[in-house]
Amino acid sequence: MRDFQLGGRSSVFSENGMCATSTPLAAKVAIQLLESGGNAIDAAIGAAVLLGLCEPQSTGIGGDCFVLVKSPGEKDIIALNGSGRSPRNLSSEKLRNAGLSSIPLHGVEAVTVPGAIDAFCQLSNDWGRKGLEFSLLPAIKYAEEGVSIGPRTAFDWAGAASILKGDARKHYLLDGKALSAGQLFKAPKQAEILRLISKNGRSGFYEGEVAKDMVQSLNELGGVHTLEDFSDVKCNYCETLSGVYGGHNLFEHPPNGQGATALLMANILANFDIRNLDPFGIKRTHIETEAAKLAYDARNRFIADFDFTERLQHMMSIDVAKKLASVINMDKATYFEDNTLGAIHKDTVYLTVVDKDQMAVSMIYSIFHSFGSGLASKKYGVNFQNRGAGFTLEKGHPNEVSGAKRPMHTIIPAILNYKDQLTIPFGVMGGAYQPNGHMRFMSNFVDFNMNIQEAIDGPRSFFENGNLMLERGYDKKVRAGLLDMGHNILTPTSPIGGGQAIKIDWKQGFLEGGSDPRKDGCAIGY
């Protein structure tokens, strides 16, 4: 139990349903949808689309999503890949011949076709109870009337406003400036799009006037996108990846997501007696950092579009993990070049919903970097993701860009199961940090018996660009000890990621939720 005389927040408990998101309004709307007869799918779609208004720098209808669903009474966990592809006329050879060595973060070359809307339509049709119109109605209302911007969103908005170009400035700035906390953000043109989707399903977005607006806008910017690229968008169900850590089963999304990276980290860490270490001490942080270096190196070499991913089973091998664990020096940081072949990012939204039937949804939804490509469609203001920057131009690499191909994705939802007692849909925002974040949350819960909120709250570390980033929550002695081991220590300028989780306690019949104070959100139950 936390010390109630100190700052912090408690886990949230309820019996009938719960939502945990990174903004209170989206969580509230999800609960209202549940109370009005919708199920977890209906509520998750409604909350997700609304988050595109509450946090437009992080996500939106021009982005992608990945989803895991635990259906009531079913043992299998369903995975849906809602990520889009590159335009079919794009090629690495053309880009290299144009003098590029990497794909520009904020260029039209990085814009992949958005896949999230198709996924939402598919989910609603296959698993929803009340239909798309029901789910989208709150977002339509708030797109017209406006949403009040939260402090963390305002912080991110101010830091990213400069990358907005052309029509994006018209749609995502107010009098040429980033919105500040408390100001209303309105997007009436998005309301029009959502009405078309409510009426016509996916064709309201991927065909007709909205699709024409997106394609024409991209073509004017030099893009090679076609109407066929949009009409051909198709999400797909796929088999989850899974592993065991501390007797708990961890389910992750397969490539092109980086879920295998989290599972490799879990397998490496299983070789160490983590639970007998100080949870925020030197040794645990060191071991986790070194394990992440090894797991991310494998990610950078192997993970791509599922049809191109190499040696996935090798990455998942217990024997491989054991060998990698054996090379970790317990007393010294290993020099490891950060060989990230594609761009990384820190902006995403994650949400989870559980309904009264205990259907669980774990969903992550993103436009990649803050405000994506920094570009938007002229008429409707669809903010284009820059997920294509996750490709590499390295010839022969599995993640080399080519036409109609999915890039390696950093966003991953997760579900943790323990026998027939617990189911925990969870996710950690923060781009490349996410596999590391999954392990930090899971280890906090499994190894150190933290409750859901505590497991989210704890200080975080992450190795990136040759530096070990330590949040200010770490003790000075820990910093000094890690420095003595050879880690180059830096304090990040912003929090490392975010996160949400809900625990379904099957035996006791209650839900326990938590939401990251690094964001503006909360968990709400009823």
- State the DSSP code for 385: P
Neighbouring-strand partners of residue 310: none
Q: Round to whole Å and give the CA distance between 238 and 219.
A: 33
The pLDDT tens digits of the residues spanning 46-101 come to 999 999 999 999 999 999 999 999 998 888 999 999 999 999 999 999 999 999 99
Structure tokens at 398: 């599995």
Render 248-275 in DSSP notation, one character per residue: EEEEEPPTTSSHHHHHHHHHHHTTS-GG
- Residue 1: C-alpha distances to residues 291, 448, 449, 450, 453 (Å): 30, 13, 11, 9, 11
Residue 16 CB neighbours (<10 A): 15
Q: Round to whole Å and give the CA distance between 259 and 410.
A: 9
Chain centre distance of CA 382:
19
Q: What percent of the chain has pLDDT over 70?
A: 98
Q: What is the reported pLDDT for 386?
A: 97
Pairing of strands 489-490, 467-470: parallel
Cis peptide, bond prior to residue 329, ω within 30 of zero: no
The pLDDT tens digits of the residues spanning 216-226 come to 999 999 999 99
Distance from the first to the final alpha carbon of the chain: 23
CB contact at 8 A, 246 and 417: no
Residues ≥6 apart with Cβ < 8 Å to 389: 102, 103, 104, 105, 110, 342, 343, 368, 369, 407
Q: What is the reported pLDDT for 442?
A: 98
Q: Which of 416, 408, 406, 405 lies closest to 440, judged by CA?
A: 416
The pLDDT tens digits of the residues spanning 117-154 come to 999 999 999 999 999 999 999 999 999 999 999 999 99
Is the pLDDT at 339 greater than 60? The verdict is: no
Q: What is the reported pLDDT for 344?
A: 57
Q: What is the mean pLDDT of residues 376-394?
A: 97
Residue 460 CB neighbours (<10 A): 27
Q: What is the mean pLDDT of residues 110-115?
A: 98
Neighbouring-strand partners of residue 360: 70, 354
CB contact at 8 A, 342 and 390: yes
Angle of the 24-35 helix axis to the 40-54 helix axis, nearest 10 = 150
Is the pLDDT at 2 greater than 90? The verdict is: no
Three-state DSSP class for residue 83: coil
Three-state DSSP class for residue 243: strand
Is the pLDDT at 488 greater than 50? The verdict is: yes
Task: Choose between 93 and 341: higher pLDDT.
Answer: 93
Task: Categorize the per-residue pLDDT at 341 as very low, low, confident or very high, splitting at 50, 70 and 90.
Answer: very low
Residue 2 CB neighbours (<10 A): 14
Task: Categorize the per-residue pLDDT at 323 as very low, low, confident or very high, splitting at 50, 70 and 90.
Answer: very high
Pairing of strands 422-429, 77-82: unpaired
Is the pLDDT at 158 greater than 90? The verdict is: yes
The domain 241-344+416-525 having CATH identifier 3.30.1600.10: the answer here is no
Pairing of strands 236-238, 77-82: antiparallel
Three-state DSSP class for residue 58: coil
Q: Which residue has the tokens 């980290």?
A: 265
Q: Round to whole Å and give the CA distance between 448 and 443.
A: 7
The pLDDT tens digits of the residues spanning 248-307 come to 999 999 999 999 999 999 999 999 999 999 999 999 999 999 999 999 999 999 999 999
Q: What is the mean pLDDT of residues 370-383?
A: 98
The pLDDT tens digits of the residues spanning 9-49 come to 999 999 999 999 999 999 999 999 999 999 999 999 999 99
Q: Which of 283, 236, 241 lies closest to 266, judged by CA?
A: 241
Structure tokens at 52: 């595109």
Q: What is the mean pLDDT of residues 499-506?
A: 97
Q: What is the reported pLDDT for 260?
A: 97
CB contact at 8 A, 345 and 410: yes
Question: Domains of the chain: which residue ranges?
Answer: 21-237+348-381, 241-344+416-525
Q: Which residue has the tokens 């912003």?
A: 494
Would you state the torsion angle of the CA atoms of residues 433, 434, 440, 441, taken in this order, to the nearest 10 degrees? Answer: 140
CB contact at 8 A, 268 and 327: no
Q: Round to whole Å and give the CA distance between 129 and 116.
A: 19
Neighbouring-strand partners of residue 70: 77, 360
